[in-house]
Structure 1
Amino acid sequence: MGESKDLQPKVEKSFEIIGKKWTGLIIYVLMSGPKRFSELSESMPSLSRRILTERIKELEEQGIVVRNVIPDRPIRSEYSLTQKGTELGKILGPISQWAKSWVKD
C-alpha cells in the first residue's frame, strides 16, 4: 500500500483498539451523546456488564472515552467520547452504512 514503515505500527495499534469485540459498537453508541452505564448496557443487551466495564476502562486508558461524574444526588456518571474518540467515531459511520447494505441479519 506504499505506507511508510513508521506508520505501520500506528495502523496496527488502531486496528487492535477498534478490533476488540464490542469496542466499535460502544463508540458508535456514544456518537449520539453522553450515556450512563445503564443506558450503554441497555443499548447492547448481548454485552455483559463485566465486558462493558472492561471495554470502557480500556477506552478511557486510550483517551477515547471520558467518565464524567455528575454531583447530583444520587451521584451518577456519564461516559462520553473525547475529541480523539469523536474522530474515531466518524469513521464508523461509513462502516455502519456498509453494514446496512451488505451484512445479513
Structure 2
Amino acid sequence: MAEKKIHKSESKCTIQQILDVIGGKWSMSIIYALVPGKLRFKELERLIPGISTRMLVKELKNMEANKILTRTVFATVPPTVEYALTEKGVKLRPILDEMAKWGEEYVA
C-alpha cells in the first residue's frame, strides 16, 4: 500500500490571511469603536486611548484597502472625514463578541 504524501502548500493558511487583514495591534479596537455607527477621525482617536495619530491613519488605510471600512470625505473647510464599517466589517462583530467573552473568562 503506497503512502500518501502530504504536500505543504506554498500559500498562507486561512488564519494567517485573516490576521494579515485584521491583525494590526489597533484593528480590533477600531472595528469595535465603529460597531455602533459612523465616526469622524477625531472621534475615533478619542475612543481609542494610546493610539497615535500616525498609527490610526495607517490602520484605517489598511482596513479601507481590505474593505473592512469605508472612508467618506465631505467638502468642508477643514475637510470632514467619516469612517463606517462595510458589510464585511460588520460581520466581524460576532467574532469580537466571542473574543470579549473569552477575555472576560480567561484574561480579566
Question: Normalised by the size of structure 2, how large is the TM-score?
Answer: 0.79
Alignment map for 1:58-73 (pairs within 5 Å)? 58-71=62-75
User: 1:20 matched to which residue of 2?
Assistant: 24
Tell me if the contact between 2:22 and 2:63 (Cα under 8 Å) persists in the aligned partners. Answer: no
Deviates more, 1:79-88 or 1:67-76: 67-76
Whole-angstrom distance in 2 between the partners of 1:95 and 1:55 = 20
Question: Normalised by the size of structure 1, how large is the TM-score?
Answer: 0.80
Whole-angstrom distance in 1 between the partners of 2:96 and 2:104 = 12
Amino acid of the structure 2 residue aligned with 1:58: N
Looking at secondary structure, tell me which structure has more helix per residue. 1
Matched, 1:34 2:35: no
CA RMSD of aligned residues (A): 2.1
The structure that has the greater radius of gyration is 2
Amino acid of the structure 2 residue aligned with 1:57: K
List alignment gaps of at least 5 residues for structure 2.
1-8
Whole-angstrom distance in 2 between the partners of 1:75 and 1:54 = 19
List alignment gaps of at least 5 residues for structure 1.
none
Amino acid of the structure 1 residue aligned with 2:63: L
- Percent sequence identity is 35
Amino acid of the structure 1 residue aligned with 2:59: R
Q: SS of the counterpart of 2:51?
A: coil
Q: SS of the counterpart of 1:63?
A: coil
